[in-house]
Structure 1
Amino acid sequence: MNTIIERITEAIKDILIGLIKSCLDNMFTSVNEQVGTIAGQVGQTPQGWNAGIFNLIQNISQTVIVPIAGLIITFVLCYELITMVTQKNNFHEFETYNIFLWIFKAYVAIYLVTNTFNITMAVFDVGQHVVNNAAGVISGNTAVDASEAVARIVDALEDMELGDLFLLSMETLLISITMRILSIIITVILYGRMIEIYLYTSIAPIPFATMTNKEWGNIGNNYLKGLFALAFQGFFMMVCVGIYAVLVNAMTISSDLHAAMFSVAAYTVILAFSLFKTGSLSKSIFNAH
């Protein structure tokens, strides 16, 4: 009878140890996967992330927004011409240079509107270059290799009682599920950033149409700041992932397994929160409102 109970106990222990090992493997390998996933997402330009959405946004911008931008340019240029004429005592003190300056402003304004997408994509190309370089440094120096520690933990699990193993298996399973949920949240944050970029670029011709005017130019200048903030938000995301990977990699998971697992979950929560805050941080740095 005792032999049967012992065999049943050993079988249950083997199942629980296998469950714990599987959860630990998934937990620590997900760190490396998240570094690669986030790097792949934030390193994409709008046209590279989804060509279909990009073409849709570009068509909407060119067919709906560009005509409105043309009306704004016309209004701004007429306003500038009237102001230029009237402030010089109705041509009595007027200089020919002002006409050439006005023509140059008109040319620049039209050029900016007709090449809006080239300019915006150039900004994101710069951001992509910075993110890809950061991803190479982070991925090469923060890869988490927990195989040896997990192997030592499995050896230690053999000496644990059935109740402790059951409690530990529930903890690892709960934390594994939590990290999967957090991974979904992080994915939502990444996709939300890309959707914000598409929305931002769809209206680009209107703020670009105001950039040559002294009074209205703050609209275009602030838009350009926001564009750089979105492009460099990906860099801040990569820095957050690098910090996360370093924290997880520096843990000693063989001494206190319970604390180590909850630390990984806590670090992942902090990662999700930090990724969420990168947008406001980037806008604050570039003074975009």
Structure 2
Amino acid sequence: METVLKAISDWIKSLLTAAIMSNLSGLFDDVNTQVGGIAQQVGTKPSSFEPRVFAMIEALSRNVVLPIAGVILTFIACYELIQLITEHNNMAQFEPALLMKWIFKTAISVWMISNTFDIIMAVFDVTQQVVANSSGIISGNTRVNDIGLSMLQSSMMQMDVGPLFGLFLQSFFIGITMRILSIVIFVIVYGRMIEIYMMVSLAPMPMATWGNHEQSHVGQNYLRSLFALGFQGFLILICVAIYAVLLQNVAISGDAINSIWSIVGYTVLLCFTLFKTGSVARSILGAH
């Protein structure tokens, strides 16, 4: 009878061991893929990230938003001219230099909204150059491997069924967690680029406000927001660099589960800090 019970116990342990190894094998593949591609993705210009989407955004901006920006600029220019006339006693005390100043400001504003995309791309050229030059800061490898799992497999056969079942539940939860984290990293990185596309699509409208002192804060804040989005890529690289350094301190050994939980914790921390990069960049540059 004891032999039968031992055989059943060994059979259950072999099933649980196989299930645990199945949960842990390739556990970090999705996260490795997402983290490994971050440097390349954040270092890509909006025009190169998805050229067809960028071409569509540019066409919409030029054909739909630009005329609206022209109306806004016309209103601002007329408002400034009327204000200029009334402030100088209906031109009784009017100086030609003031009119030349108004013409110059209006011409500059027209040039800015006519060349909005060139200006916007110049902003991202600057920020992407910083990101490209900083990609070398990621010291060490961000890839998590499965070394030590074979040692874990041999030690699991020495465990009782109860602790082994608990280990199975942990491995199952870890597997779900890592897949969720890989999705979160994907959403953060690609969500940033979609936000850039949305900002670029409406670019002519805030750029039309630069000619007026009272409304120029709209254009200034818009430009700061663009720089914040650009430098967010730099902060994302900083987060990945810190993640790489932290991973170097984790060694998957005989106590592989605790080591894996440490890696999961660092990956959760990475996701949290990636979420914060946007707000940190905006706070530094004063964008809101």
* Alignment partner, residue 44 of structure 1: 44
| Whole-angstrom CA distance in 1 between matches of 2:19 and 2:177 | 16
More displaced 10-residue stretch of structure 1: 7-16 or 64-73: 7-16
Quote how far apart the aligned CAs of 1:95 are. 2.7
Q: Percent identity?
A: 46
* Alignment partner, residue 245 of structure 1: 244
Aligned pair 1:128/2:128, yes or no?
yes
Quote how far apart the aligned CAs of 1:257 are. 2.5
* Alignment partner, residue 226 of structure 2: 227
Quote how far apart the aligned CAs of 1:228 are. 0.9
| Whole-angstrom CA distance in 2 between matches of 1:132 and 1:8 | 59
Q: Deviations over 1:54-85 (max 9, x none)?
A: 11111111111111111111111122222223
Aligned pair 1:26/2:36, yes or no?
no
* Alignment partner, residue 195 of structure 1: 194
- Give the alignment's TM-score, normalised by structure 2: 0.85
CA contact 2:66–2:205 (8 Å) conserved in 1: yes
Change (3 A) 1:11 1:137: farther
Change (3 A) 1:14 1:283: same
Change (3 A) 1:133 1:157: farther
| Whole-angstrom CA distance in 1 between matches of 2:131 and 2:19 | 37
Number of residue pairs aligned between Structure 1 and Structure 2: 288
More displaced 10-residue stretch of structure 1: 279-288 or 243-252: 243-252
Quote how far apart the aligned CAs of 1:171 are. 2.2
Structure 1 residue identity aligned to 2:90:
N
Quote how far apart the aligned CAs of 1:31 are. 5.0
Q: Deviations over 1:205-263 (max 9, x none)?
A: 01001112111101101111111111111222222222223222212332533322222
* Alignment partner, residue 103 of structure 1: 103
| Whole-angstrom CA distance in 1 between matches of 2:158 and 2:233 | 46
| Whole-angstrom CA distance in 2 between matches of 1:156 and 1:243 | 32
User: For 1:1-289, what aligned pairs fall within 5 Å after superposition?
Assistant: 20=20, 23-24=23-24, 26-28=26-28, 30=30, 32-138=32-138, 140-144=139-143, 146=145, 148-150=147-149, 152-154=151-153, 156-157=155-156, 159-161=158-160, 164-254=163-253, 256-289=255-288
CA contact 2:36–2:142 (8 Å) conserved in 1: no
| Whole-angstrom CA distance in 2 between matches of 1:185 and 1:32 | 13
CA contact 2:23–2:171 (8 Å) conserved in 1: yes
Long gaps (5+) in structure 1: none
Structure 2 residue identity aligned to 1:283:
R
Secondary structure of the residue aligned to 1:26 is coil
Change (3 A) 1:249 1:157: farther
Change (3 A) 1:188 1:30: closer
- Give the alignment's TM-score, normalised by structure 1: 0.85
Quote how far apart the aligned CAs of 1:14 are. 6.5
Structure 2 residue identity aligned to 1:106:
T
CA contact 1:35–1:242 (8 Å) conserved in 2: no
What is the root-mean-square deviation of aligned Cα atoms in Å?
A: 2.8
Change (3 A) 1:165 1:132: farther
Structure 2 residue identity aligned to 1:119:
I
Q: Deviations over 1:189-208 (max 9, x none)?
A: 22322222111111110100
